């Protein structure tokens, strides 16, 4: 690899960027260098959505060969744009007329102060370009889960999402964008020198393995939804970065006979879609994991490798018996997911080793029961106080196997082995579940922090196990969600 500028498609031309820090955000470049000030800075941590932009990537399965996704510009590093297309709110109007999404926001009075409006418009525009029929209200709420409005209220914005489809449709010409991206794809892999940090973007797993073995202290970067905050909030100077987003091999999902193999670079949205197809019980967590722009950028492999005590994906994966495929140089090994975590922010990864894939057992049967839930103060875009994953196999009304895992209850996502023992071999009954609920006290000694008290976490963990019984046991007709309670 040899150094070259960052190159991406923007405003009808290929841009070449050099001389800027490798950790400069897309938002900073837009506002300070490109004078594209329609994109706003609010939280600088990917929560409020004022900075939402749309990224275009080559994808032969997408309409026009161009995949469009909304992401948060405030936490995406500028070199991650290499080989892609960037769209902002200024790009939507044409020939002096607003785009139907923009016009619908005007007609439905979806804006007051207007600070958040560009972000809402970009989230809605990405969805508009990816669908032909008007969205349901529930879908719109998911699309806008990462956009915060402090003054207008969401009802007129949701109305605007549907109203846009009642106007004459404007077709976005994807051909010149795809042609430009094809031209960029012929460039060599990116090595960008930006002040104290180099940004390296290998395009094959072999190249990644070689680079990481040679530079084990370099930071692996995937969706930047966590590492980005190290710069914007912690003001850290990062070591050299090895970017995984240009490696097609890591962005595949394969179906083996009895396993789903999810590459470490697969986005959270794509990974959850595959998990939901195998286990519909993933759906609620998939909708509540961060927000649409975060799920568009973040990866399942990154969430796992990060090893946060409250990583929302891990309890459910551990409960299902997922494993991780690790690679160091040419050597690979596979370990149980729960064995990856040795302590707070400590993992079993060796120097120069990386997560290559996640293997999730599938082919659920009628005797296999599974649920995973997240409990937090807000429904959308919030950090969990407790996250649970429970998988139980029943034979002749007896629990033949049980795997129970929690996040937020210990320094790492962990199995509740005493609780599992209280379930295994016992009759599948309310009394058995009550005994297992009490057994949780022997598994965990949770902490009190700003999200929840230790006592609250203990009660929630027990209640989630009881909810599992209500949804899957003899009392399954009992409503467990407000939406299930009829008037």
Query: Beta strand pairing status for 6-10 and 85-87?
Result: parallel
Q: What is the rounded CA–CA span in Å between residue 221 and residue 223?
A: 7
The tens digit of pLDDT for each residue in 354-364 reads 999 999 999 77
Q: What is the rounded CA–CA span in Å between residue 43 and residue 160?
A: 25
Report whether pLDDT(196) > 90. no
pLDDT of residue 182: 98
User: What one-character-per-residue DSSP string does 226-245 give?
Assistant: THHHHHHTT-PPP--EEE-T
The tens digit of pLDDT for each residue in 282-338 reads 999 999 999 999 999 999 999 999 988 888 999 999 999 999 999 999 999 999 999
Q: What is the rounded CA–CA span in Å between residue 46 and residue 290?
A: 9
Averaged pLDDT, 140-150: 95
Q: What is the rounded CA–CA span in Å between residue 251 and residue 180?
A: 22
Residue 4's φ and ψ, nearest 5 degrees, are: -155, 170
Averaged pLDDT, 340-349: 93
Long-range contact list for 65-70, CB < 8 A, 24+ apart?
65/174, 65/178, 66/174, 66/177, 66/178, 66/181, 68/126, 68/129, 68/130, 69/126, 69/296, 69/297, 70/122, 70/123, 70/126, 70/127, 70/146, 70/292, 70/293, 70/296
Alpha-carbon separation of residue 260 from 61, 75, 252, 266, 287 (angstroms): 21, 30, 11, 12, 20
Q: Which of 86, 69, 137, 148 is nearest to 113 (CA)?
A: 148
- The alpha carbon dihedral of 185, 187, 190, 194 has a sign of negative
Using CB atoms within 10 Å of the CB of residue 379, give its burial: 0 to 12 exposed, 13 to 18 middle, 19+ buried. exposed
Provide CB contacts within 8 A for 56, sequence distance 6+. Answer: 9, 66, 67, 68, 84, 85, 86, 87, 177, 181
- The alpha carbon dihedral of 73, 79, 80, 81 has a sign of positive
Residue 115 binned pLDDT confidence (cut-offs 50, 70, 90): very high
- Low-confidence winner among 147-151, 266-270, 461-465 (lowest mean pLDDT): 147-151
The tens digit of pLDDT for each residue in 7-49 reads 999 999 999 999 999 999 999 999 999 999 999 999 999 999 9
Residues in the chain: 487
Structure token pair of residue 197: 């940090």
pLDDT of residue 332: 98
**Residues 164-192 as b or e (16 or more Cβ within 10 Å = b):** bbeeeebebebeebbebbeebeeeebbbb
Query: Beta strand pairing status for 241-243 and 197-201?
Result: parallel
The tens digit of pLDDT for each residue in 373-418 reads 999 998 888 999 999 999 999 999 999 999 999 999 999 999 999 9
pTM: 0.95
Query: Beta strand pairing status for 241-243 and 219-221?
Result: parallel
Please report the domains of the chain, with CATH numbers, ordered by start residue.
Answer: 6-90+174-243 (3.10.20.30), 95-166 (1.10.150.120), 369-482 (3.30.390.50)
The tens digit of pLDDT for each residue in 223-255 reads 999 999 999 999 999 999 999 999 999 999 999
- Is 381 within 8 Å of 389 (Cβ atoms)? no
Report whether pLDDT(479) > 80. no
Structure token pair of residue 38: 């329609």
Q: What is the rounded CA–CA span in Å between residue 23 and residue 367?
A: 50
Q: What is the rounded CA–CA span in Å between residue 264 and residue 150?
A: 36
Measured from the Cβ of residue 137, the count of other Cβ atoms closer than 10 Å reads: 11
Residue 194 binned pLDDT confidence (cut-offs 50, 70, 90): confident
Run of H or E including 463: helix 454-472
User: What one-character-per-residue DSSP string does 84-144 give?
Assistant: SEEE-GGGS-BTTB--HHHHHHHHTT--SS-SSHHHHHHHHHHHHHT-SSPPPHHHHHHHT
**155-163 helix and 117-129 helix, angle to the nearest 10 degrees:** 30
Residue 481 binned pLDDT confidence (cut-offs 50, 70, 90): low
Mean pLDDT score of the chain:
95
Residue 487 binned pLDDT confidence (cut-offs 50, 70, 90): very low
pLDDT of residue 136: 95
| Residue pointed to by tokens 């060599």 | 188
pLDDT of residue 369: 96
Residue 484 binned pLDDT confidence (cut-offs 50, 70, 90): low
DSSP state of 414: E
Report whether pLDDT(480) > 60. no
DSSP H helices in 312-416: 314-319
The tens digit of pLDDT for each residue in 69-91 reads 999 999 999 999 999 999 999 99
The tens digit of pLDDT for each residue in 150-186 reads 899 899 999 999 999 999 998 899 999 999 999 999 9
Report whether pLDDT(144) > 90. yes
């Amino acid at each position: 690899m040899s150094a070259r500028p960052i190159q991406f498609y923007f405003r009808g031309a290929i841009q070449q960027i050099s001389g800027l820090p490798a950790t400069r955000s897309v938002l900073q470049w837009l506002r300070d260098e490109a004078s594209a000030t329609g994109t706003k800075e609010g939280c600088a941590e990917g929560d409020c959505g004022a900075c939402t932009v749309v990224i275009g990537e080559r994808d032969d399965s997408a309409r026009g060969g161009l995949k469009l996704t909304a992401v948060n510009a405030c936490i995406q590093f500028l070199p991650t744009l290499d080989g892609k297309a960037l769209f902002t709110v200024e790009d939507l109007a044409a020939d002096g007329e607003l785009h139907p999404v923009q016009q619908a926001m005007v007609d439905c009075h979806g804006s007051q102060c207007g600070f958040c409006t560009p972000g809402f418009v970009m989230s809605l525009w990405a969805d508009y370009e990816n669908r032909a029929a008007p969205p349901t209200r529930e879908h719109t709420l998911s699309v806008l889960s990462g956009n915060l409005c402090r003054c207008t209220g969401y009802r007129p914005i949701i109305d605007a999402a549907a109203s846009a489809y009642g106007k004459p449709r404007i077709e976005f010409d994807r051909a010149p964008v795809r042609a430009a991206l094809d031209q960029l794809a012929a460039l060599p892999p990116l090595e960008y020198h930006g002040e104290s940090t180099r940004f390296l973007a290998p395009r094959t797993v072999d190249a990644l393995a070689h680079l990481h073995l040679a530079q084990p202290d370099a930071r692996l970067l995937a969706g930047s939804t966590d590492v980005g905050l190290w710069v914007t909030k912690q003001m850290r100077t990062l070591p050299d970065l090895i970017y995984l987003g240009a490696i097609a091999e890591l962005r595949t999902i394969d179906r083996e006979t009895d396993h789903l193999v999810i590459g470490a670079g697969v986005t959270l949205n794509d990974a959850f879609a595959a998990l939901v197809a195998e286990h519909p019980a993933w759906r609620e967590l998939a909708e509540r994991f961060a927000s649409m722009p975060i799920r568009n950028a973040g990866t399942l492999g990154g969430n796992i490798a990060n090893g946060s005590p409250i990583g929302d994906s891990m309890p459910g994966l551990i409960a299902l018996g997922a494993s991780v495929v690790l690679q160091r140089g040419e050597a690979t090994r596979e370990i149980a997911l729960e064995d990856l975590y040795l302590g707070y922010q400590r993992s079993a990864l060796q120097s120069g080793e990386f997560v290559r894939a996640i293997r999730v057992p599938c082919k659920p049967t009628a005797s296999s029961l599974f649920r995973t839930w997240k409990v937090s103060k807000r429904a959308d875009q919030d950090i969990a106080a407790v996250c649970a994953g429970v998988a139980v196999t029943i034979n002749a009304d007896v629990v033949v196997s049980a795997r129970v895992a929690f996040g937020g209850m210990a320094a790492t996502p962990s199995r509740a082995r005493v609780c599992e023992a209280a379930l295994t071999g016992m009759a599948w009954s309310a009394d058995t579940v009550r005994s297992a609920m009490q057994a949780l006290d022997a598994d965990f000694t949770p902490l009190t922090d700003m999200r929840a008290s230790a006592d609250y976490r203990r009660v929630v963990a027990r209640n989630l196990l009881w909810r599992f019984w209500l949804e899957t046991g003899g009392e399954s007709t009992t409503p467990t969600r407000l939406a299930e309670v009829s008037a």
